[in-house]
Amino acid sequence: MGANEGRAHVLMLVSHFYGHIIPLIQFARRLAFKGIKVTFATSLSATQSLQPGNHLISLLPTYDDLTHGGLRGPDGLSGFLQRFQDSTTKVLLDFINKNHERRQVKCLIYDIDLHWALDVAKQTGLQSAGFVTLPLGSTAAYYLLNLKVHGEELKVPPLDIPDFSDTGISDLVDGPGLDRISPVLRHYLSKFDNFGQADLYFCVTFDKMEHEALEWMKIICPGMATIGPMVPSAYLDNRMENNTDYGFNINKADMSTLEWLNTKEPNSVVYVASGSMIDITLEESKEIAMALKSLGCNFLWVMKETEIPKKLPSNFIEETSEKGMFVKWCPQLQVLSHPAVGYMVTHCGANSLMEAVVLEVPVVGMPKFVDQIPNAYYVEEVWKVGVNAKKNKEGAYSKEEIEKCLRELMYEEKGKEIKKNLKQMKQHAIEAVSQGGSSDMHIEEFIARLVHGPTLS
């Protein structure tokens, strides 16, 4: 670390959403571990919940979402995004243009969902690097959907994946026209407005996990490099001291979950979680509950405390009291790495999937919308690390289907094959981040570019 310390400084701009902060703070730590100074810029509320974990990482709040309102402020999501952009642009320009900082800041790394940040890099003469928070397969799926929405033709050979025009948040995208899709999807696709124009792009996965999608994306975006998985070092190469979590805890730690797991047999617990952004519907909750009860298995279920009484069948908690535990939050990394946890029912968010892969936990996919849908496709069809529950003709996940998927993982040959695949995938992940591995090498090449100039890549 000493050879590089203080020789380069990067500014890292991150969306305030939990699922975006997690991989980027881990990237900041990997850079800091190698001696690169990182200024981590995001909303005020996020900076107040972060522990950087390295003296080379400093926090820069760019928008006061506590005073001026986050998503609950005026005009909802669109209002928040505009306020965040206006405030952040000013803060970043002021920061970069300070004389004593400008001599050191070499590159702006930005979450590509904040695509407008590329203009800040170009305006100030900084190198630019976009950070792709989704797996490359899902990124490719939505790149293709964006072309469809804009009525543009693909100019390269197609990637062999399904058409993901049914995004779960608007009507089926059946032709061009921004006015035909929801505002949320419009924002979601806006990341492709200047995609490919930054100097470099980083992705959260690793070469052997997404080889085919990576090679295809390199045609679209030649500067693409995998640097993942962005999971704490303690679960992978173990090179970074005390790197056991993300240092971003929006809830108070509750060790009772781990104490409960200690009472259960190895591989006996089904972990049910749907991420920080979405809630499982009333109907889905009841179908999952009935599937778990029918199986008679142990389960740990993350659900908002206020939702528990109304989202479960009557007497379910009492009837499964010896088998199940409900929590409003839990330390997911520690839970997934616990010997008692054998399976996960998940919405297929990118971070949860990466953690499940690294910790060798087979998954049942129940995706809801946008990237979760192609993520789930890759889970079963490409990576082969889990199975996906299929919706019935009413568009719902049934108790019978959820139970069938869990039985496949628990008792059938397919489950054994999935566990073998996960073991191999875990080994590939460790190799990627270890010294000399593909992800580590891409980070080293980036540092060389920072320290010696962009002619080295």
258, with CB counted inside 10 A (0-12, 13-18, 19+), is middle
Parent domain of 106? 9-247+434-452
Distance between CA atoms of residues 249 and 219, nearest Å: 38
Token representation of residue 402: 């959820």
457 found inside a domain: no
pLDDT in tens, 87-140: 999 999 999 988 555 568 999 999 999 999 999 999 999 999 999 999 999 999
262 and 398 inside one domain: yes
| Residues 30 and 77 both lie in one domain | yes
Residue 2 in domain: no
Reported as a pLDDT band with limits 50, 70 and 90, residue 179 is: confident
* Strand order across the beta sheet in which 224-226 lies: 57-63, 37-43, 9-13, 105-111, 127-132, 200-203, 224-226
Mean pLDDT of 307-336: 89
pLDDT-wise least confident of 52-61, 434-443, 445-454: 445-454
Q: What is the CA radius of gyration of the chain?
A: 22
The answer to whether residues 183 and 203 belong to one domain is yes
User: What is the full DSSP assignment across 119-173?
Assistant: HHHHHHT-EEEEEE-S-HHHHHHHHHHHHHHTTPPP-SPPPS-------SSSS--
Examine residue 46 and state whether it is found in any structural domain, yes or no: yes
CATH number of the domain enclosing 355: 3.40.50.2000
**Closest to 85 (Cα-Cα) out of 42, 136, 28:** 42
Which residues are part of the catalytic machinery?
20, 111
Residue 418 lies in a domain: yes
- Do 243 and 261 fall into the same domain? no
Alpha carbons 160 and 212: distance in angstroms, whole number: 9
Instruction: Give the per-residue pLDDT at 456.
Output: 41
Mean pLDDT across 282-307: 91
Let me know whether 161 and 272 are in one domain.
no
183 and 240 inside one domain:
yes
For 137, the token pair is 């397969």
Domain assignment present for 4: no
Statement to judge: residues 270 and 394 lie in one domain = yes
391 in the same domain as 358: yes
- Is residue 263 a part of any domain in this protein? yes
| 3 found inside a domain | no
242-288 pLDDT, tens digit per residue, is 999 999 876 666 688 999 999 999 999 999 998 766 677 888 999 99
396 with 445, same domain: the answer is: no
What is the count of structural domains for the chain? 2
Asked whether residue 212 falls in the same domain as residue 65, the answer is yes
The answer to whether residue 161 is domain-embedded is: yes
pLDDT at residue 57 greater than cutoff 90:
yes
Percent of the chain exceeding pLDDT 90 equals 79
Shared domain for 446 and 337, answered yes or no, is: no
Planar angle of CA 240, 243, 244, nearest 5 degrees? 140
In terms of domains, do 390 and 418 share one?
yes
> With 60 as the cut, is the pLDDT of residue 3 above it?
no
Torsions phi, psi for 301 (to 5 deg)? -125, 120
